[in-house]
Amino acid sequence: MTDKTQGRPRFDAGKHFREYIVTYIFLILSVLFIWASGRSLPEIMGQLMGRLGRNLFIVLSLIIPIIAGMGINFAITIGAMAAQVGLLMALNWEITGIPGILVAAGITVPLGALFGFLIGSLLNKMKGQETIGSLILGYFANGAYQLLFLFVFGKLIPLSEKVTIIGATGVSNTLNLTGASGLYMVLDGIWQVTFSQALYGVSALIAVAAALLFALKKMSKKRFITLLSVAAGVSLVYTLPFISAIFANIRIPVATFVLVALLCLFNVAIMRTKLGQRFRAVGQSRSVANASGINVNRVRVIAIMISTVLAGWGQIIFIQNLGTLQTYSAHEMVGLYAGAAILVGGASIDRATNSQAIIGCVLFHLLFVVSQDAGVKLFGDPAIGEYFRVFISYGVIAVALVMHTWRANAARAKKSSLQA
């Protein structure tokens, strides 16, 4: 439906609500759980910002395969495994600080690209079932990973005693990144600013960038005024005492969030390239893309390769923030939690944006922060909150799969009726 006077599509409230129903449910649950937890907002926001710093990059790595019509790439778990191999090598070679992170990231690239190529090639054999297929591939790869770390490393590939089980074969269950290892908070510790400094700095950057684009006639006057108004409005709201008090003690790791911002820009920029246009074409219709001369299988494989490498880098950001690498389990829930988070933000099996990934990550991890305390207050047992978190993760994914199937069947039925 379009507005005849403006020539733009009218806002369809019903459609909007259907598409974002999970987001609104999570928003309501988050408010209720914050109230039930009894915790202060400054404490909750402090933990939430920490979670966002170490999880946003991974969630954003899911966008390209979704746009390319491959659903939620749960096989990013395999990218996380590649990153953990890189971190293991950096620890084994005793390379500390930024060089250690760069070595881990460098090892992740060829491993992640190779794994992504294999995953994409396999998913091309199961078109239409990519989401389930990637989930199964993640479980299968986990078995191979366990064998690698328990037997191959230390037995066939010599490693130092610092990373192996003393008196046995295999890598230690827990690898410490603090102290002499020198990989703990390497990125997060480069430069930290207060939340107010970050907010005002970002607002100023938005204003300057908008003014520059407007001066170069790359932005409309309406959009320019809108961006300036938003930047000024947010800054003014933050000056309110009860708002600024919530974020007063929060410090922002600049380097980490710069990497997140760069990935957001990458996701936008690549869609404006020829490759990005092919991602969209394949995602919209494989048959039409193939008829137009696009190598559909190749494009899909490239999407998975990019996603897998990005997820590996995200896992490095995650682990350096925690300070410990749980060798045999750190990767296991990566795909599940990232997939659930992006779906909570309003994304679907075939549609995703940066904003949906960010909103979903905020709501999903906000619920994580308060669920255990809410479980104690409501039921006297923190385990109830933990079970609820896992239930929600699987539930969101199940709802997304059901809705995708329902929409696909409805579209096919409509197409058949029109042809008849």
Domain residue extents for the chain: 37-419
Asked if residue 17 has pLDDT above 80, the reply is no
Q: Mean pLDDT for the chain?
A: 87
Could you tell me which residues come within 8 angstroms of residue 199 by beta carbon, excluding any fewer than 6 positions away? 234, 235, 238, 247
Look at the alpha carbons of 262, 268, 270, 273 in this order and tell me if their dihedral is positive or negative: negative
Look at the alpha carbons of 73, 78, 81, 82 in this order and tell me if their dihedral is positive or negative: negative
pLDDT band at residue 409 under the 50/70/90 scheme: low
pLDDT of 198-210, one tens digit each?
999 999 999 999 9
pLDDT band at residue 9 under the 50/70/90 scheme: low
CB-CB contact of 60 with 264 (8 Å): yes
Q: Which residue has the tokens 């559909």?
A: 296
Residue range 216-224: mean pLDDT, rounded: 87
Res 151: pLDDT: 85
pLDDT band at residue 5 under the 50/70/90 scheme: very low
Could you tell me which residues come within 8 angstroms of residue 212 by beta carbon, excluding any fewer than 6 positions away? none
Instruction: Determine the Cα–Cα distance for residues 104 and 175; give it in Å rounded to an integer.
Output: 14
Asked if residue 285 has pLDDT above 90, the reply is no
Residue range 270-284: mean pLDDT, rounded: 94
Residue range 225-229: mean pLDDT, rounded: 91
Res 418: pLDDT: 64
CB-CB contact of 279 with 67 (8 Å): yes
Instruction: Determine the Cα–Cα distance for residues 341 and 293; give it in Å rounded to an integer.
Output: 35
Res 90: pLDDT: 94
Res 2: pLDDT: 47
Question: In the CATH hierarchy, which top-level class contains the domain 37-419?
Answer: mainly alpha
Asked if residue 391 has pLDDT above 90, the reply is no
Res 126: pLDDT: 87
Instruction: Determine the Cα–Cα distance for residues 210 and 190; give it in Å rounded to an integer.
Output: 28
Res 411: pLDDT: 64
Least confident of 129-133, 164-168, 211-215, 313-317: 164-168
pLDDT band at residue 408 under the 50/70/90 scheme: low
pLDDT band at residue 404 under the 50/70/90 scheme: low
pLDDT of 99-147, one tens digit each?
999 999 999 999 999 999 999 999 999 887 888 888 889 889 999 999 8
pLDDT of 42-70, one tens digit each?
999 999 999 999 999 999 999 999 999 98
Instruction: Determine the Cα–Cα distance for residues 224 and 213; give it in Å rounded to an integer.
Output: 8
Could you tell me which residues come within 8 angstroms of residue 341 by beta carbon, excluding any fewer than 6 positions away? 55, 59, 357, 360, 361, 364, 365
Query: For strand 174-176 and strand 8-9, is the pairing parallel, antiparallel, or unpaired?
Result: unpaired
Compute how many other C-beta atoms are within 10 angstroms of the C-beta atom of residue 353. Answer: 18
CB-CB contact of 364 with 146 (8 Å): no
pLDDT band at residue 4 under the 50/70/90 scheme: very low
Asked if residue 36 has pLDDT above 60, the reply is yes
Asked if residue 194 has pLDDT above 90, the reply is yes
Res 1: pLDDT: 45
Least confident of 99-103, 166-170, 211-215, 368-372: 166-170
pLDDT band at residue 317 under the 50/70/90 scheme: very high
Res 371: pLDDT: 83
Q: Which residue has the tokens 């703990």?
A: 184
pLDDT of 237-259, one tens digit each?
999 999 999 999 999 999 999 99
Instruction: Determine the Cα–Cα distance for residues 268 and 288; give it in Å rounded to an integer.
Output: 23
Task: Say what the alpha-carbon torsion angle 399, 400, 403, 404 is, to the nearest 10 degrees.
Answer: -150
Res 296: pLDDT: 93
SS (H, E, C) the chain: CEECCCCEECCCHHHHHHHCHHHHHHHHHHHHHHHHHCCCHHHHHHHHHHHHHHHHHHHHCCHHHHHCCCCCCCCHHHHHHHHHHHHHHHHHCCCCHHHHHHHHHHHHHHHHHHHHHHHHHHHHHHCCCHHHHHHHHHHHHHHHHHHHHHHHHHHHECCCCCCECCCCCCECCEEECCHHHCCCCCCCCCCEEEHHHHHHHHHHHHHHHHHHHHHCCCCCHHHHHHHHHHHHHHHHHHCCHHHHHHCCCCEEEHHHHHHHHHHHHHHHHHCCCHHHHHHHHHHHCHHHHHHCCCCHHHHHHHHHHHHHHHHHHHHHHHHHHHCEEECCCCCCCHHHHHHHHHHHCCCECCECCHHHHHHHHHHHHHHHHHHHHHHHHHHCCHHHHHHHHHHHHHHHHHHHHHHHHHHHHHHHHHHHHHHC
Query: For strand 2-3 and strand 192-194, is the pairing parallel, antiparallel, or unpaired?
Result: unpaired
Please name the amino acid found at residue 218: K
